[in-house]
Amino acid sequence: MRNILFLSLFGFLLWSCGHPTNPPAQQTETIQAEKHHHGDPDEALELDNGEKWLVNDEMKPFVLKGAEIVEQFINEGKTDFKELALKLKNQNSGLIESCTMDGKAHDELHKWLHPLLGLVNDLDNETDTAKAAEIVNHIHESYNTYNIYFK
């Protein structure tokens, strides 16, 4: 059921990207992301002829801060997974709102971003501490993957 919802909402995204709107402040990062999706996120990430893809300067601070938040959470042994999810959702909202990318670089970024958004949502909904810690590790790996494919 969740996949059907994502697929239908992402269909709308395909149309809506490039048609900017001013969404109400109470909309969540997930809804914003669903309005800004292209391509198939299940495809493998690709480099730009062996080089990293360039991400626009307005988006970079949100990715860097998200990675920093996760790194700090892990290093300090924190366990408030709900707070972490909220902080990451805020960073992801800023990332999505600041996106002016297009073309292949934009599509590749979405291949990275879509799974990250899913992980953050999973973290927000997880009640088992061990499973939440595993999700945090996957989120950390996701930011490492970003650094392989994007600059």
3-state secondary structure 39-83: CCCCCCCCCECCECECCCCCCHHHHHHHHHHHHHHHHCCCCCHHH
Mean pLDDT of 43-66: 96
pLDDT of the residue at 66? 98
Using the predicted structure, report yes or no on whether residue 82 has a pLDDT greater than 70.
Answer: yes
Using the predicted structure, report yes or no on whether residue 5 has a pLDDT greater than 70.
Answer: no
Q: Find out whether 33 and 52 touch, Cβ atoms under 8 Å.
A: no
Q: Find out whether 135 and 116 touch, Cβ atoms under 8 Å.
A: no
Q: What is the DSSP letter of 149?
A: H
Question: For the segment 127-139, what is each residue's pLDDT rounded down to a tens digit?
Answer: 999 999 999 999 9
Question: For the segment 119-128, what is each residue's pLDDT rounded down to a tens digit?
Answer: 999 999 999 9
Using the predicted structure, report yes or no on whether residue 38 has a pLDDT greater than 50.
Answer: no
Q: How would residue 15 be classed by pLDDT, with cut points 50, 70 and 90?
A: very low
Q: In a 3-state reduction of DSSP, which class is residue 113?
A: helix
pLDDT of the residue at 42? 59
* Contacts (Cβ under 8 Å, ≥6 apart) of 103: none
pTM for the model? 0.74
pLDDT of the residue at 11? 40
Q: How would residue 43 be classed by pLDDT, with cut points 50, 70 and 90?
A: confident
Q: In a 3-state reduction of DSSP, which class is residue 151?
A: coil
Q: For the chain, list the domains and their CATH numbers.
A: 51-149 (1.20.120)
Mean pLDDT of 60-77: 98
* Contacts (Cβ under 8 Å, ≥6 apart) of 127: none
